[in-house]
Amino acid sequence: MTPDQSDIRFGCFLPIPAAPVDKLLKIAKINEEAGFDSIWAPDHLLFIPPGIVPEAWSMLAAAAIVTEKATLGTCVSDPHRHHPAVLAQKVATVDQISGGRVTLGLGAGEAMNLEPYGIDWKRPVSRLIEFTTIVRKFWSGETFNYEGEFWKLRDAFLQIRPSRGTIPIYFGANSPRMLEVTGEIADGWLSTPLSPTLFNKRLSLVKKGAEKANRPLNEIDVGAYLYTSVTEKSEDASKQIEKMKAQVIPSPQLLKEAGYHVELSEELQSISYFKALLNSEWLEKFLTFAESIPLNAAIEFSITGTTEDCIEKIEAYIKAGVKHFLLLNAGPDPRSVVKVYREEIIPYFKKS
């Protein structure tokens, strides 16, 4: 089912690690004033390129003070670096500070945030499911016992609750199992950058999970994390997105699934943006893959070009099932991109 264009939401992804903390707060405020409905922060310990990577929930607590309406969320936190009680308390606190504007984005975890620090992340999807169950119990205000595979709780409760009684939990999901689990128990789906065709293909697995749980798909906020570069001349936007091909298409598997055939060694077939962060040797290998990504593939996986080009591309994603766009501003002039979204693109989709 294609979403109604008037219900489409636009979110902005804070440019971490490119900007320092004080500038990130200004960007959050500027984007809210420009009409963006949501503001998102990555929950990482490290990132590339080099720069400042602040703790996500501290960052969002500060953003809650300088904003008034936009929802605030992580894309995404994981169930490995926190006990569920600790994260439930942290997120509920930010929700209270913001007046009920928080979304918790959760994923199964990435090696770069865990392996260098000796954090165990065996059976990540099962752990995520259990973590989600426990967090929701804490937010309900009940005192409860829990005997799980990963956590055992006795007479456990929190003395803070979310402003609305609960908080939406979105799953960052790309694998078949995670996509189905998203449809079964999550309030929203956050995809990695994908072409409209691949997005719709994965959405069918979210729908399968929802049907298994007897849930209508329209109960789930379907979101896409995408890079956007908007300029007066389409070639200028393309030049900028070409510099970010590796982030836009972070693995050879995605490139192949989209129908692009690039000759790579067997070793490079398993490389990914996230694996590359683990050591300099892998980073060098990943850059070799990045050079082989065709520019037209990066354009297909992003919202790139003139204002008219970008509107047409957004419409293609809406037809693929996207309800909520989480956009990372990748334009050569970020202020100009915000201006175009404020004055032309967002009003175009909100006009009805």
pLDDT of residue 290: 80
pLDDT at 100 over 80: yes
How far apart, in whole angstroms, are the C-alpha atoms of residue 123 and residue 292?
Answer: 33
pLDDT tens profile 111-130: 778 888 899 999 999 999 99
Task: Say whether domain 5-235+304-350 belongs to CATH 3.20.20.30.
Answer: yes
The share of the chain scoring above pLDDT 70, in percent, equals: 91
Residue, of 292 and 53, whose pLDDT is higher: 53
Q: CA-to-CA distance for 313 and 33, rounded, in angstroms?
A: 24
Which of 12-21, 43-52, 326-335 is predicted with the least confidence, judged by mean pLDDT? 43-52
End-to-end Cα spacing for the chain: 19
Q: What's the pLDDT score for residue 2?
A: 65
In which element (H, E) is residue 230 found? strand 221-230
Q: pLDDT class for 277, splitting at 50, 70, 90? A: low
pTM over 0.85: yes
pLDDT at 280: 66
Give pLDDT tens digits for 205-230.
Answer: 999 999 999 999 999 999 999 999 99
More confident residue, 196 or 265: 196
The CA distance from 245 to 249, in Å, is: 6
Q: Kindly state the percentage of the chain with pLDDT values over 90.
A: 80
Type and span of the H or E element at 10: strand 9-13
The reported pLDDT for the residue numbered 330 is: 96
Top-confidence range, 134-148, 253-267, 285-299: 134-148
Amino acid making up residue 30:
I
Residue 70 has pLDDT above 90, yes or no: yes
DSSP class of 343 = I
Residue 291 zone, left/alpha/beta (φ > 0; ψ -120 to 50; rest): alpha
Higher pLDDT, 195 or 288: 195
Q: Say if residue 20's pLDDT is above 80.
A: yes
> Taking residues 106-110, what's their average pLDDT?
93
Q: State the average pLDDT over residues 275-293.
A: 72
Q: How does strand 71-74 pair with strand 169-172?
A: unpaired
Q: How confident is the model at residue 262 (pLDDT cuts 50, 70, 90)?
A: confident
- For residues 153 and 113, the model is more confident at 153
Q: pLDDT at position 51, please?
A: 87
pLDDT higher than threshold 90 for residue 323? yes
How far is it, in rounded angstroms, from Cα 62 to Cα 27?
A: 12
49, pLDDT greater than 70: no
Q: How confident is the model at residue 287 (pLDDT cuts 50, 70, 90)?
A: confident
Going by C-alpha positions, the residue among 67, 39, 41 that lies closest to residue 54 is 41
Contacts of 223 (CB under 8 A, 6+ apart): 11, 170, 188, 189, 190, 191, 322, 323, 324, 325, 326
Q: What angle do CA 102, 350, 39 make, to 5 degrees?
A: 25
Return d(Cα 175, Cα 316) in angstroms, integer: 23
Task: Look up residue 333 and give its DSSP letter.
Answer: S
- pLDDT tens-digit map of 163-210: 999 999 999 999 999 999 999 999 999 999 999 999 999 999 999 999
Average pLDDT, the chain: 93
Strand partners, 323: none
Contact 210, 217 (CB under 8 A): yes
Give CA–CA dist 209/211, Å, rounded: 5
Other C-beta atoms within 10 Å of 23: how many?
Answer: 13
Residue 261 pLDDT > 90: no
> Residue 143: how many CB atoms within 10 A of its CB?
12
